[in-house]
Amino acid sequence: MTRHAKFLKRSVALGAVALAALSLQTGTAGAAGEPTPSSSTPGTKVVGGVPAAQGEFPFMVRLSMGCGGALYRPDIVLTAAHCVDGSGNNTSITATAGVVDLQSSSAIKVKSTKVLQAPGYNGSGKDWALIKLARPVTNLPTLPVTTDGRYDSGDFTVAGWGATREGGGQQRYLRKATVPFVDTPTCQRAYGSAYIPGEEICAGIMSTGGVDTCQGDSGGPMFRKDNNGAWIQVGITSWGDGCARPGKPGVYTRVSTFAKAIATAADQLRR
């Protein structure tokens, strides 16, 4: 069975974007600033996570096709290849940044101008893409990417506006969770030949599950602190077998493998 048939990419299907938008959480804010779940809320957490505070991850971006991303440069968003439809001019994507609440009046919204999908992407591995914005977002920090494998282990942070449970709706408020690194042999046992060790990295709680990214989180960053205590991106949310299942970790694009190619592509987009 192919990976596409058995394992799910973690983006919202393009045909379901309108439905996903309708299912955004609209609960009122509680005393601590956390939204109170509405009757249609599948849960109050990103799978196993908690709400992110305003300004906690200022590099986070929500993309209108139902994916996440991070500011790679002030005018470029790094996301997943499976979130976009090829390379070229594209003005159909809206990037929302600067807020945890997607309905906030303070949200920064910028249209796309171009998209560059990873060269050679065919649905397996190489799951990265860049989106050029119509104007730079100069008042928010970018998220540096790791250029080698020194940070490809430990505990990682993931964040996004995706479903809080497998099959759930998209979220209005940004959520975060911590997921531990899963080594290559363990991930290979979980996914067999579908997992590409040199291009992908796995994270999750193998024994119990319960903490994971899910549909709508695709393209968002997986990151951790570097040796100087600053955030650095090590992964891009890509795929998995369901969401937060025991023995089935999340699979992320291994950014260290593609750091040079991403930098080259970003330079091309600016020409």
Write out the catalytic residue numbers. Answer: 82, 127, 218
Q: Contact at 8 Å (CB) between 60 and 67?
A: no
Q: Both tokens of residue 201?
A: 């990295």
Contacts for 90-93: CB closer than 8 Å, 24+ residues apart: 90/114, 90/115, 90/131, 91/134, 92/64, 93/63, 93/64, 93/65, 93/131
Q: How far apart are the C-alpha atoms of 117 and 40, rounded to whole Å?
A: 35
CB atoms within 10 A of CB 37: 16
CB atoms within 10 A of CB 15: 7
In angstroms, what CA-CA distances link 82 with 46, 64, 159, 223? 21, 14, 18, 20
